[in-house]
Amino acid sequence: MRYVSTRGQAPILSFGEAMLTGLARDGGLYVPETIPTLDKDAIAALAGLSYEDAAFRVMRPFVGDAFSDDEFRSAIAKAYAGFGHAARAPLVQLAPNHFLLELFHGPTLAFKDFAMQLIGQLFQIALQRDGRRVTIVGATSGDTGSAAIEAFRGLDNVDVFILFPHGRVSEVQRRQMTTPSEGNVHALALDGTFDDCQSRLKDMFNHFEFRDAVGLAGVNSINWARVLAQVVYYFTSAVSLGAPHRKVSFTVPTGNFGDIFAGYIAKRMGLPIEKLVIATNQNDILHRCLTTGRYEMGGVKPSISPSMDIEISSNFERALFEAYGRDGGAVAQLMDEMKAKGGFAVSQGAMEWLGETFASGRVSEDETRASIADERAASGELLCPHSAVGVKVAKDHLGAVPMVTLATAHPAKFPDAVEAATGIRPGLPPRMADLFDRAERVTRVPNDLAALEAIVHERRAR
């Protein structure tokens, strides 16, 4: 199994190399050269399996010889052992044709744990085998950072630096990142937006001298392994609703486009997905692009679903690569235009391609609050604001096939927004009950590449 860059100019890598490399050296993102498929019998055979067994069968074809079957099985088993629900990703019925996929039963209460717990295990195997150490730098709007810290805290061959936008994450998210006491964890509050954090991270990857000197690795969804691990729950949920004999649609609260791109991969693998619906908050660049054909930045506005306050939606590049017939040169040109002018026009052919697979909707702040309150009244389910964005858009797209909305975070990560909408303040699970009593450790940092690189150089262990 080989991986190629969306910009067509970087070395072709194996799964193991792509996982440890992160961003391709031409600035693009790695994708599989060919996408493996599962036939109807193989998909039907997933029914009744444990989440772990299904995960092995769905992901194995992408991994090649990077890990033995035993290593990969054991990594999967360890990754999900700490989840707080036996099903790992349980499906709850909201209405006759509408289901909620609860992805918040992992250690940090967001869907990021599905991939991060697994790549934590895979990194350990790969690094120990090669006798290597790496410096992970991650950008987060709140959830990726806490999941990464949880997965890598205390490991002696990894330093983990997390950049988050100062004042733009929830208090629970911030404390999840700033209270771990392990010396290899470094929480950095950046003066800027999530897009600034992600741009500086990509700048570090594109600065080869720095990248090679610190052994830079990435665990954002620029890392293919992150996307791959998220493909699994599309299969498990669709199969439990009757796939491959019945079609299913998904609505996905979307920011960096990693989660919904995993759904696209599931579709390409043979899962009968009718539509993948992109649900955005007021930062609606993806919805505007899908409806107007222009990807146009307009400035991020803070919202009550802060993890989706994103305008430079990193994985949309992977979708564009497919939409432009895997033409890396065309993608590179669009990304250059984006950098120079803050936007680009999508060609008619690419728009048609996108429209065949994706639909989209946008939810205002008031509608998000109403969605939390309405769903509580209708089904009793208490939604986090991101999941509420998804549920609202899903309701506008209900049709003949079952609709699954991804519930991407636990409501207790955003207690203020949930309480304002419902009067109910969701509580953290007992294992996190002392989160507000723990001491915080965080460094305020400027939105400046040289300053950030200096901090990483100075603090990482050698």
Ligand X SMILES: Cc1ncc(COP(=O)(O)O)c(C=O)c1O
Ligand Y SMILES: N[C@@H](CCOP(=O)(O)O)C(=O)O
- List active site positions: 112
405 counts as binding ligand Y under rule CB under 6 A: no
386 counts as binding ligand X under rule CB under 6 A: yes
What does the alpha-carbon distance between residue 112 and residue 162 come to, in Å, rounded to a whole number? Answer: 14
**Residue position matching structure tokens 């061959």:** 157
Q: What is the CA radius of gyration of the chain?
A: 20
- List the one residue from 5, 249, 307, 371 that touches ligand X (CB under 6 A): 307
133 counts as binding ligand X under rule CB under 6 A: no
- List the one residue from 5, 108, 135, 141 that touches ligand Y (CB under 6 A): 141
Q: By the 8 A CB rule, do 91 and 240 touch?
A: yes
- Give the nearest distance from C-beta 370 to ligand Y in angstroms: 23
193 counts as binding ligand X under rule CB under 6 A: no
Choose the stretch contacting ligand X; rule: CB under 6 A; options: 32-40, 57-65, 249-257, 391-399.
249-257
- List the one residue from 258, 328, 411, 415 that touches ligand X (CB under 6 A): 258
Q: By the 8 A CB rule, do 36 and 270 touch?
A: no
Nearer residue to ligand X within complex by CB, 66 or 252? 252
Choose the stretch contacting ligand Y; rule: CB under 6 A; options: 134-142, 203-211, 335-343, 433-441.
134-142
254 counts as binding ligand X under rule CB under 6 A: yes
Nearer residue to ligand X within complex by CB, 66 or 231? 231
- List the one residue from 314, 360, 368, 405 that touches ligand Y (CB under 6 A): 314
- List the one residue from 256, 282, 283, 357 that touches ligand X (CB under 6 A): 256
Nearer residue to ligand Y within complex by CB, 243 or 308? 308
Q: Judging by DSSP bridges, how do beta strands 358-362 and 273-280 pair with one another?
A: parallel
What does the alpha-carbon distance between residue 223 and residue 201 come to, in Å, rounded to a whole number? Answer: 13
- Give the nearest distance from C-beta 313 to ligand X in angstroms: 7
Nearer residue to ligand X within complex by CB, 285 or 330? 285
Among positions 201-220, residues that touch ligand Y (CB under 6 A) are 220
Interacting partner of 140 out of ligand X, ligand Y, none (Cβ under 5 to 8 A depending on kind): ligand Y
- Give the nearest distance from C-beta 127 to ligand X in angstroms: 25
Nearer residue to ligand X within complex by CB, 174 or 460? 174
- List the one residue from 10, 66, 135, 143 that touches ligand X (CB under 6 A): 143
Choose the stretch contacting ligand Y; rule: CB under 6 A; options: 33-41, 136-144, 370-378, 433-441.
136-144
Sheet holding 248-253, edge to edge: 91-95, 98-102, 403-407, 248-253, 273-280, 358-362
Interacting partner of 253 out of ligand X, ligand Y, none (Cβ under 5 to 8 A depending on kind): ligand X
Among positions 258-297, residues that touch ligand Y (CB under 6 A) are 258
Interacting partner of 309 out of ligand X, ligand Y, none (Cβ under 5 to 8 A depending on kind): none
**Backbone dihedral angles phi then psi of residue 252, each to the nearest 5 degrees:** -130, 115
- Give the nearest distance from C-beta 400 to ligand Y in angstroms: 31
Question: Which residues, in sequence order, are bridge partners of residue 137?
Answer: 161
- Give the nearest distance from C-beta 311 to ligand Y in angstroms: 12
Nearer residue to ligand X within complex by CB, 223 or 307? 307
145 counts as binding ligand X under rule CB under 6 A: no
The angle at the Cα of 425, spanning 421 to 427, to the nearest 5 degrees, equals 140
Nearer residue to ligand Y within complex by CB, 140 or 179? 140
- List the one residue from 255, 270, 328, 415 that touches ligand X (CB under 6 A): 255
Nearer residue to ligand Y within complex by CB, 144 or 157? 144
110 counts as binding ligand X under rule CB under 6 A: yes
- Give the nearest distance from C-beta 104 to ligand X in angstroms: 8
Closest CA to 23 of 405, 318, 462, 414: 318
Q: By the 8 A CB rule, do 93 and 64 touch?
A: no
Choose the stretch contacting ligand Y; rule: CB under 6 A; options: 200-208, 255-263, 416-424, 426-434.
255-263
Q: Which residues bind ligand Y (CB under 6 A)?
A: 140-145, 220-221, 255-256, 258, 307, 314
Q: Which residues bind ligand X (CB under 6 A)?
A: 110, 143, 221, 253-260, 307-308, 386, 408-409
